[in-house]
Structure 1
Amino acid sequence: MKQRRSIAAALAVTWSIISTASAESDSDVNRLIRGSDKKLSSLASFAEEDIDVFKESPLDDEHDSRRLQSSSCVGNDMMCGCSDVRQSDYRGHFSVTRSGFTCMEWSMADSFPNQGLEDGAFCRNPNGVGQKAWCFVEDGNGVMWDYCDVPNCQVESSGDITPGCFNTARYNDIYADIEEIKNSIDNDFDRSHFLGGIVRLVAHDFMDFDASNKRKPMGPDGCLLFDSSMNVGLGSIWCDSCPLKQLYDSKYSDLSRADFWVAAGNAVIFLTSINNSLDLRNTFYWGRTTLDSCPGSDSRLPTTAGCQDVEGVFLERMGLTWKDAVALLGAHTLGRGQKQFSGHHGTWVPNDKDAQVFDKKYYEELFRRAWTPRGVGTEDQDWATGSSQDKMMLNTDMCLIFDIDNDKSCCSRTSMFKPNGQNRCEINEDRECMMYSADNSRIEATKAVKRYLGGSGPNSNNVPFYNAFTIAWFKATTNGMETLRPLQDTC
């Protein structure tokens, strides 16, 4: 049962770990074939539980869709299966395992849609959970599972690097190049602007996705209207004299700009995460097409007015959940707002040094400070603490916890005082901002913020935030992209 726990834990994290788990199950199947009846019986339960656990992974549907679309082999899925997707594309009529057992009917077709399980008692590999096509069988002593001798389809030949090829080596090079630029910037202000700006560039690219607009869904297509007020400031990240664009033009121009932006964002998140522990390479897919023109894309971006925009963009048009939206907003921990660009000035965390660390501090700051509105009645209205440090929150941040749609004349914490005894709210010290009631749909946002705090007291647990961000970022950066390929050593 030790193996069962290791598989379950692995499947709950990322695809790279899932791959390792599948390799372990391959070893178990070898033992199944040559082992005793006791091992067969024990493994039968183990295999079924593994599949139930796999079904619970929140990235299953997205990964499965991407892997089937991205196969590099040439063949007929009725005759053979592609090895690079572990024959999960196979839809043929092999019904006998390599040990001579006849496949049983699949009973999980509803739980694994579009996996060919509804076709009948044939060899399949739902969601690529095994190393190749397999099925459940019965030998008189109980239910077990066994692999099938489905042939592999022919694989397209490719060199190490071909024009437009986004292999592991080039992905690693982007990480190294972004780190070199980061280290060449000699002050915290500019460095936090560079790092946060790259992530914001990617976010503004994917936030214009509209699933309901079949003709122009947009999304992560490498296209922004840089002269729009919604994208002011990003021109200092992507311009002819900007280090990021110079890097792309000199070394990666054969890749699509859309792919490069996402990879650069991944690099920033990795380099700034605690102990480089958030590596998104295992959920990176490439093959996005860059658009040169995207009129109207800026009108789809959220303003800073409040949670109506968060709901409209993230939940309604992008198809995400409150957990996803709150996780993506956690990226505000990087970088800063600058008045000449957005009308908002300050960092979401204590200072520019902290604004170079991708962690859960954004959520801590929401709860920790006594936030009061500034610039009420103007389009640049935001929230500040009145301290000497230029910290800030936007309405779209505060509304994750507080019901401020109809009344912003409040303070988030009226019980906090300065050393001189003055209330930290300074104004509205007798009007504490209301939190959402249990029957308000936005309470899910508040629950997510609390979850990403990592615990009820001071702690360094970033795992809940990192796990949620991985899922949300994966969804957002692949939204609307019909044909993407996973990162591999060769293309």
Structure 2
Amino acid sequence: MSPKGDYAAVKKDIASILDKPDYDDGSLGPIFVRLAWHASGTYDKKTRTGGSNGATMRFDPEVADGANAGLEHARAFLEPIKQKHPWISYADLWTLAGATAIEEMGGPTINWKPGRSDKDPKKLTAHDVPPNGRLPDAALGQDHVRQIFYRMGFDDREIVALVGAHALGRCHADRSGYEGPWTHTPTRFSNQYFKLLTGLTWRKKEWDGPVQYTDEDDELMMLPADMAVIRDPEFAKIAKEYAQDKDVFFKDFAAAFEKLIDLGVPRGDDKGNAPVAPNQKKAGAKL
């Protein structure tokens, strides 16, 4: 067990388990990013409910949300690390796993900060767990996408940047109903998603599943929510910029992801920074 507050040790352990040849495309990275995303993306800025604080995905109704199907595997993969470092909250562990995965898969450095606590199941109230329906529905278009992200406090540029996380991973028919990867390198963080989305011709896939889109070789897929990015003039302009400039995308994504995983987290000063442990000045930057 590491000393309390040794987040670098936890991060090292997370990095050590990412390679998993018998899982999906050989990496746990994409599902850890999804875990961090979904644990945070329930935030409502008006009611100040939801978000990454509390690790409420452990409880109903959030744990049973169809949008979270398959994330029980991500939580289980991280359980040995939680047992090794029992002082870290699940809320911090899940978000640190996502940040670590992005960096280890070639993405930008994420300035992750500690400070999340876990809700005590013995003191849990219905108000503590966000209702289902707060996460994006892949079947819907740009109006829905804006509604979901505006509720959290994101603008159009941040929305498109965060959608760029679809550079990673794939869909599974037994979880979401959709099937296939977005990119040719689903375990490598890059701007390839935007290059493909804006550069290829996408057509509706002919199959028995829900509406999704495929390239001419039927190797890749896009969801209706992805197509909304290129059908909306403002979104499309940003997507094309990211397709042309990886550095701009990485910069914007890092800032938006840092904001996402901090939603709902109480901070120790008026600048929104986490309380600093005596031995960990600017903890996030040192990890």
Deviation at 1:176, TM superposition (A): 2.1
Which of the two has higher C-alpha Rg?
Answer: 1
TM-score for the superposition, normalised by structure 2? 0.83
Q: In the aligned structure 2, how far is the partner of 1:267 from the partner of 1:489?
A: 23
1:287 is aligned, of 98, 103, 115, to: 115
State the partner residue of 1:396.
225
Whether 2:259 is the aligned partner of 1:475: answer yes
Q: Map 1:65-80 onto structure 2 (within 5 A).
A: none
State the partner residue of 1:339.
173
State the partner residue of 1:244.
78
Provide the identity percentage: 26
Q: 1:258 to 1:386 in 2, by over 3 A?
A: same
The answer as to whether partners of 1:323 and 1:445 remain within 8 angstroms in 2 is yes
The answer as to whether partners of 1:174 and 1:267 remain within 8 angstroms in 2 is no
Q: Map 1:89-100 onto structure 2 (within 5 A).
A: none
Whether 2:234 is the aligned partner of 1:449: answer no
User: SS state of the match for residue 339, structure 1?
Assistant: coil
Structure 2 unaligned blocks of 5 or more: 268-272, 281-287
Whether 2:148 is the aligned partner of 1:313: answer yes
The answer as to whether partners of 1:336 and 1:345 remain within 8 angstroms in 2 is yes
Whether 2:26 is the aligned partner of 1:191: answer yes
Code of the residue aligned with 2:95 in structure 1: it is: V
Structure 1 unaligned blocks of 5 or more: 1-159, 403-441, 456-461
State the partner residue of 2:72.
235
Code of the residue aligned with 1:397 in structure 2: it is: D
Code of the residue aligned with 2:118 in structure 1: it is: T
User: SS state of the match for residue 303, structure 1?
Assistant: coil
User: SS state of the match for residue 213, structure 2?
Assistant: strand
Deviation at 1:288, TM superposition (A): 1.2
Q: Map 1:62-211 onto structure 2 (within 5 A).
A: 161-162=3-4, 165=5, 170-183=6-19, 185-187=20-22, 189-192=24-27, 194-211=28-45
Deviation at 1:187, TM superposition (A): 4.7
2:51 is aligned, of 216, 219, 243, to: 219
State the partner residue of 2:164.
330
Code of the residue aligned with 2:249 in structure 1: it is: F
Aligned length, in residue pairs: 262
Q: 1:366 to 1:487 in 2, by over 3 A?
A: farther
State the partner residue of 2:89.
256
Could you report, residue by residue, the CA deviation over 1:95-151 in whole angstroms, capped at 9, with x for unpaired residues? Answer: xxxxxxxxxxxxxxxxxxxxxxxxxxxxxxxxxxxxxxxxxxxxxxxxxxxxxxxxx
1:463 is aligned, of 242, 247, 269, to: 247
Code of the residue aligned with 1:219 in structure 2: it is: G
Q: In the aligned structure 1, how far is the partner of 2:265 from the partner of 2:21?
A: 38
The answer as to whether partners of 1:220 and 1:258 remain within 8 angstroms in 2 is yes
Could you report, residue by residue, the CA deviation over 1:436-487 in whole angstroms, capped at 9, with x for unpaired residues? Answer: xxxxxx43211211121234xxxxxx21111001110121112222225266
The answer as to whether partners of 1:258 and 1:290 remain within 8 angstroms in 2 is yes
